[in-house]
Amino acid sequence: AQTVTQSQPEMSVQEAETVTLSCTYDTSESDYYLFWYKQPPSRQMILVIRQEAYKQQNATENRFSVNFQKAAKSFSLKISDSQLGDAAMYFCAYRSGGNQFYFGTGTSLTVIP
């Protein structure tokens, strides 16, 4: 099974500041897909951003961007201009050509007003 590691169980950031959540993964595949999901308290898990491994350019979605380092098997999420609504549990996920998705253990992000 593939392994996805999120080494930061908890993070905090001041409102309007920038925070980076880390994720590493273990794979022998060359073609795969990476995702960051956000799960607000008592709410549905939703997709934040995705990255295809064959693309060298880092994905960006508004205030969210990734730093994808394929050789290092690293996929970090950067949140710029943090807002109170960004407070949530964030999960990193991996999918290769199979049906399964593999998730990290999550990082709980607190945004301080």
Partner 1 sequence: DVKVTQSSRYLVKRTGEKVFLECVQDMDHENMFWYRQDPGLGLRLIYFSYDVKMKEKGDIPEGYSVSREKKERFSLILESASTNQTSMYLCASSFPTDYSNQPQHFGDGTRLSIL
User: Which residues would be at the binding site for partner 1 (CB under 8 A)?
Assistant: 1, 6, 9, 32-33, 35, 37, 43-47, 50, 52, 91, 93, 95-101, 103-106
Q: Which amino acid is at 85?
A: G
Of 12 and 14, CB closest to partner 1: 12
Scan for tokens 């508004």, then name that residue.
Answer: 62
Scan for tokens 């290769």, then name that residue.
Answer: 96
Looking at the DSSP bridge assignments, the partners of residue 42 are none
Least separation in angstroms between residue 95's CB and partner 1 is 6
Of 64 and 103, CB closest to partner 1: 103
The span from the first CA to the last CA of the chain, in angstroms, equals 40
Least separation in angstroms between residue 27's CB and partner 1 is 13
Least separation in angstroms between residue 16's CB and partner 1 is 29
Give me Rg for the CA atoms of the chain: 14
